[in-house]
A and B are shown apart, each in its own frame.
Chain A
Amino acid sequence: MSYEKSFSPLPPTRLIANPLYQVNLLIWMLQPSTGAVVEPVLQKAGYRLFQIEPELSLPIELVESLQKNGFAHSNPVNPDLLICSPANDYIPVECKSRMFGSQPQPGGGESQIKQARSLLLLISPFLASALALQPRSVASSHVVYLAQHEPKVAQAEGLSNLSAELKKSGYRTIPFGLLGLSVKGNAIALRGKYQHATLPGALDKRLGRRRITVQKITDDQTDPRPLYYLPWMPDNPSEDDEYGQQAFANRILAAAVSQIGPRKIPCEIALNVETLLGAATYNLYSQWRDKDVRKRLQKRAKELLKKSLNKAVADLKLTSLEFPEKGWKFEIPDQKTYSRVIEGLRKGEHKDWNNPIPQRSLFDEEDE
């Protein structure tokens, strides 16, 4: 068998700026492991994963005050992860390709600033309320960003300025820290000492002024990324990431096979794409508020299944599930069809399956 590249690997210097990679790297850093794939820096510092993409609402009085004083903000605010320590120190973590300034730049940046303001305002009682916990259950809160390390830029200055502005107007803000990823020789390294920024105590103690290797780069032919716990994030442009697209497609197809595999033949199969998308994303899909993104995913997943099934068994009669369910139903009459369906889904036609749909067709086309 000759090795064929499944996709064009990203050079490590670009990979470390990919938020989907960054989130998965963080989840790996939180898992107890031997460190053979990713050094579990956060787990060794005592942190564990509490929530993924939590939806954190600010208190109504605070929102009213921010509006009155002209501070644009996000409400609710959704950091990528929420982690916590045994001492109930809670840390919202946000991944960014690049850090940002305190003023919007040409081409965008406003949403990042609004998000950062809201995260900085999540003092422990507010965070406890947002999580529906008792105030004493959250001992402290501290926001941390993860981004590509850029030595020539004062990366935490924007956060510092935003915090200072809020404080000047009488608001209380929480401390913030920055974790930077860099490629050094044959390794992807993590550091945490940045001007203006302070990491939470346990993490600061673990990292200190050091640069810790979190992943080794085997060679220049091999993409270093680990298995993805999360194959997709709503705001990550998956069309730029061939690996993410393939991993996500394979997860959807595997979810379909786990439904078909144990069935007795003959049988009728009903594949609900919302169920499959939920299984493939740990239900992140079901809570994503952007209906356009959800609609696109449903449509794309349905097409993915159709193409894969039709390629496997040309005369397989696919019927749309009855509204409001979305997906396909079909019959498997015999062992031969069963085997071909299972194999067809394995070799799913997933190239570019999740690229954006032109706006017109997204809203105009009827479900097949």
Chain B
Amino acid sequence: MTLVSVKTREEAFDLLDGYAVERREELERQHTRRPLVKSYLLETAPHGHAEPSLETVFAKAGCDLKQLDDTLFKIFDANQGKYIGLLEKLIQRHPVIYTTEKSDVMGRWVRKLVASTTALDHLWLSGRAFEELLKTIIKVTPDQRYVRMVFQHENFFDVEESTRFARHTTEASNGDDDESAEMDGEENSGETFEQRFIEESDDDYVPERRKTTFTLTDRLGVIKRLLPQMQELYSPFYSISALRFPAQGRPGGHDFYFDGKVTNRSNSFADHRLHLQFVLRLYKRATETTEQVVCRGVERNKILTGARQQTFVGAPVTLQFQEPLSQEVFDNFIESTFNRPNGKFRLWGNPIFLGPRKAHVYGIDRHLWQPIFLEITDRQIVAIIPQGTCGNSVHRLVTNVQQYLDPGVRVWVGDTDYSELIRTDPDIRSIYDEL
């Protein structure tokens, strides 16, 4: 059976399940002949806002959604003239795309889809979020199971050693052009997560600044024991970019990536979907709590201005660096983020400098074109997220800061530790509240 002939949910999931079994067998023979099942977790409107019509959103991207039941659709890409996957409204606010297309092709496709609309965003799993997921894995998984983790951090705004050296030895700053080219790097270059983290070949340019790309696969018991010590010694170990959640009672697992992609390396699609649901529920709760605190959600703390009732901006989000940024890193961060069109953080704004290492930006988050106000100093970033701006902006900001600025950054939403928002709730009632 192929996607073309699928007419019901059962047929769709049988297809993905059977496909998963075949690929798992190939994985065990250490040779996959076809791509694995992948899921792309997405995010829609903030809590309390009307959810966008996915049919309309996909239509604008040239795709037709063929409905199978209330929440499941086949995605027909008119540009390619074929079905490229399934879309499920898995939980409220979080649609998921399932596909068996190649990772690089589908990665580009999903990025293009998200870029084409403000109604969709990726899921943004920060290193701090992955740490909390790892704690859950530790609680529910035997120590002898293998866990795979990827750590990725590049001090993107640091000046390269070669540039600094050139500055010290000559008056001319010939390195600036190269640096600019590097800083301008296209965010949506189309490269896949895997491509970004492969080891540079001998012929490639390797920037001389802190850059960590590290894959760790070991038994859970070992990771549990050693990771805190490793993080203490070397902070990029806080910047977890991918994590394998071992499958329950079967080999393999589910690789969650920082941008919401999840690869099924188990032999069960049902188990894969179960893990997606778990992570999405945690994420949704964290996002909604964040929105309640930072945006004074619509249900609470309504503020009146004069006779007019409206919600008011709420508590700040504070990202505190482990060590103060150098003047160079601070300057490069501001310059690269706001004065160049393709900055990594996709922010828009004109910094107001209040001192050599303090700037205010009353700007826009270009993912959603919604306001965001930032105080940036050498010691911290403080963000005020006005009402209507999605809490997903906070997850994205934390993810980007951990990957490109400070892997060990500590984060508070109001006066609450960000990690606490993502923590699973052992209270039995919470299991049923989420349903």
A37 touches B354 (CB 8 A): no
A208 located at the interface, meaning its Cβ lies under 8 Å from any Cβ of chain B in the complex = no
- Rounded to whole angstroms, the CA-CA distance of A54 and B355 in the bound complex is 35
Question: Given contacts A3-B331, A31-B314, are A222 and B348 in contact (CB under 8 A)?
Answer: no
Question: Given contacts A261-B366, A287-B305, are A40 and B349 in contact (CB under 8 A)?
Answer: no
- Rounded to whole angstroms, the CA-CA distance of A258 and B388 in the bound complex is 12
Q: List the B residue with the shortest CB-CB distance to A261.
A: B369
A31 touches B316 (CB 8 A): yes
- Mark interface residues in A48-60 (1 if CB within 8 Å of B CB, else 0): 1111111100000
A1 touches B335 (CB 8 A): yes
B358 located at the interface, meaning its Cβ lies under 8 Å from any Cβ of chain A in the complex = yes
Q: List the A residue with the shortest CB-CB distance to B334.
A: A1
A180 located at the interface, meaning its Cβ lies under 8 Å from any Cβ of chain B in the complex = no
Q: Which of B306, B320, B364, B375 contacts A254 (CB 8 A)?
A: B364
Stretch of A97-105, A169-177, A278-286 at the chain-chain interface: A278-286
Q: Which of chain B's residues have a CB closer than 8 A to the CB of A222?
A: 354-358
A227 located at the interface, meaning its Cβ lies under 8 Å from any Cβ of chain B in the complex = yes
Closest CB of chain B to A40's CB: distance in Å? Answer: 7
- Rounded to whole angstroms, the CA-CA distance of A254 and B301 in the bound complex is 26
- Rounded to whole angstroms, the CA-CA distance of A343 and B342 in the bound complex is 12
Question: Given contacts A9-B354, A37-B375, are A258 and B369 in contact (CB under 8 A)?
Answer: yes
B306 touches A284 (CB 8 A): yes
B352 touches A250 (CB 8 A): yes
Q: Which of chain A's residues have a CB closer than 8 A to the CB of B303?
A: 49-52
- Rounded to whole angstroms, the CA-CA distance of A231 and B352 in the bound complex is 13
Closest CB of chain A to B308's CB: distance in Å? Answer: 6
Q: Which of chain A's residues have a CB closer than 8 A to the CB of B99?
A: none
B373 touches A227 (CB 8 A): yes
Q: Which of chain B's residues have a CB closer than 8 A to the CB of A221?
A: 355-356
Q: List the A residue with the shortest CB-CB distance to B414.
A: A32
Q: Which of A193-248 contact B (CB under 8 A)?
A: 218-219, 221-223, 225-227, 229, 231, 243, 246-247
A339 located at the interface, meaning its Cβ lies under 8 Å from any Cβ of chain B in the complex = yes
B348 touches A52 (CB 8 A): no
A37 touches B356 (CB 8 A): no
A246 touches B357 (CB 8 A): no
Q: Which of chain A's residues have a CB closer than 8 A to the CB of B226?
A: none
- Rounded to whole angstroms, the CA-CA distance of A254 and B318 in the bound complex is 22
A231 touches B362 (CB 8 A): yes
A32 touches B334 (CB 8 A): no
Question: Given contacts A1-B334, A250-B350, are A36 and B308 in contact (CB under 8 A)?
Answer: no
Q: Which of A7-44 contact B (CB under 8 A)?
A: 7, 9, 31-34, 36-37, 40
Contact-residue bracket for chain A: 35 or more
- Rounded to whole angstroms, the CA-CA distance of A356 and B46 in the bound complex is 40
B415 touches A51 (CB 8 A): no
Q: List the B residue with the shortest CB-CB distance to A264.
A: B60
Q: List the A residue with the shortest CB-CB distance to B336.
A: A1
B318 touches A33 (CB 8 A): yes
Q: Which of chain B's residues have a CB closer than 8 A to the CB of A1?
A: 331-332, 334-335
Question: Given contacts A261-B369, A287-B307, A348-B350, are A227 and B375 in contact (CB under 8 A)?
Answer: yes
Q: Which of chain B's residues have a CB closer than 8 A to the CB of A50?
A: 303-304
Main secondary structure of the interface of A (DSSP, over half): loop
Q: Which of B60, B331, B354 contacts A225 (CB 8 A)?
A: B354
Q: Which of chain B's residues have a CB closer than 8 A to the CB of A225?
A: 354
A219 touches B350 (CB 8 A): no
Q: Which of B352-377 contact A (CB under 8 A)?
A: 352-358, 360-364, 366, 368-371, 373-375, 377
Closest CB of chain A to B346's CB: distance in Å? Answer: 11
Closest CB of chain B to A51's CB: distance in Å? Answer: 4
B382 located at the interface, meaning its Cβ lies under 8 Å from any Cβ of chain A in the complex = yes
Q: Which of chain A's residues have a CB closer than 8 A to the CB of B295?
A: none
A166 located at the interface, meaning its Cβ lies under 8 Å from any Cβ of chain B in the complex = no
B315 touches A247 (CB 8 A): no
- Rounded to whole angstroms, the CA-CA distance of A231 and B353 in the bound complex is 16
Closest CB of chain A to B173's CB: distance in Å? Answer: 12
B310 located at the interface, meaning its Cβ lies under 8 Å from any Cβ of chain A in the complex = yes
Question: Given contacts A37-B382, A49-B303, are A282 and B312 in contact (CB under 8 A)?
Answer: yes
Of B360, B370, B377, B379, most buried by chain A (CB within 10 Å of CB) is B360
Closest CB of chain B to A228's CB: distance in Å? Answer: 8
A255 located at the interface, meaning its Cβ lies under 8 Å from any Cβ of chain B in the complex = yes
Of B306, B315, B364, B379, most buried by chain A (CB within 10 Å of CB) is B306
B147 located at the interface, meaning its Cβ lies under 8 Å from any Cβ of chain A in the complex = no
B384 touches A227 (CB 8 A): yes
Q: List the A residue with the shortest CB-CB distance to B319.
A: A36
- Rounded to whole angstroms, the CA-CA distance of A282 and B374 in the bound complex is 18
B306 touches A287 (CB 8 A): yes
Q: Which of B362-414 contact A (CB under 8 A)?
A: 362-364, 366, 368-371, 373-375, 377, 379-380, 382, 384, 412, 414
Closest CB of chain B to A288's CB: distance in Å? Answer: 8
A284 touches B380 (CB 8 A): no
- Rounded to whole angstroms, the CA-CA distance of A225 and B380 in the bound complex is 15
Of B350, B356, B362, most buried by chain A (CB within 10 Å of CB) is B362
Q: Which of chain B's residues have a CB closer than 8 A to the CB of A31?
A: 314-316, 414
The 4 lowest CB-CB distance pairs between A and B, nearest first, are A222-B355, A261-B369, A287-B306, A32-B414
- Using CB atoms and an 8 Å cutoff, list the residues of chain B in contact with chain A: 60, 118, 293, 301, 303-308, 310, 312-316, 318, 320, 331-332, 334-335, 338, 341, 348-358, 360-364, 366, 368-371, 373-375, 377, 379-380, 382, 384, 412, 414-416
In addition to A229-B313, A258-B369, 5 A-B residue pairs with Cβ atoms within 8 Å of each other are A1-B335, A48-B301, A250-B352, A253-B350, A254-B371
